């Protein structure tokens, strides 16, 4: 995925199926992600009645489910792919530099203006 591509959010039905498959109930999913996702927002998105940006909220839910990569995960993957290609270690992926890459991804995101 390039920077210009916009990730398509899963449908409400796909999200509901993924939540039920992994957590059993929407309630249990919401409890596990307390503080990251608002319970009423999750229910409204799944019901199709969310008044705001349904696509943005659907992507947040998909990220929590591991169905979509968040911005930090995409930046981390980009850093890691470039660095590992240039690395002299033969056993790839070795994971030796993962903490460094995570710190670099976090720093890159902090340096970016909001909304990019």
Residue-wise pLDDT for 17-64, tens only, equals: 999 999 999 999 999 998 889 999 999 999 999 998 888 888 889 888
Percent of the chain with pLDDT over 70: 89
b/e burial code for range 15-51 (CB count within 10 A of at least 16 → b): bbebbeeebeebeebbeebeeebeeeebebbbeeebe
The token pair at 1 is 């995925």
Residue 63, helix vs strand vs coil? helix
Q: What is the pTM of this model?
A: 0.60
Percent of the chain with pLDDT over 90: 33
Q: How far is CA 20 from CA 26, 30, 32, 48, 55, in A?
A: 7, 12, 13, 17, 20
Q: How confident is the model at residue 116 (pLDDT cuts 50, 70, 90)?
A: low
Going from N- to C-terminal start, the domains of the chain cover 12-65, 71-111
């Amino acid at each position: 995925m390039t920077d210009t591509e916009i990730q398509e959010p899963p449908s409400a039905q796909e999200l509901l199926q993924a939540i039920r498959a992994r957590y059993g109930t929407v309630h249990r999913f919401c409890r596990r992600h307390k503080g990251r996702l608002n319970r009423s927002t999750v229910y409204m998105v799944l019901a199709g009645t969310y008044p705001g940006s349904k696509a943005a909220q659907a992507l947040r839910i998909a990220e929590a489910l591991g169905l979509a990569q968040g911005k930090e995960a995409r930046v981390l993957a980009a850093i890691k792919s470039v660095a590992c290609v240039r690395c002299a270690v033969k056993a790839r992926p070795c994971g030796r530099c993962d903490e460094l890459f995570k710190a670099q991804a976090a720093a890159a995101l902090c340096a970016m203006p909001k909304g990019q």
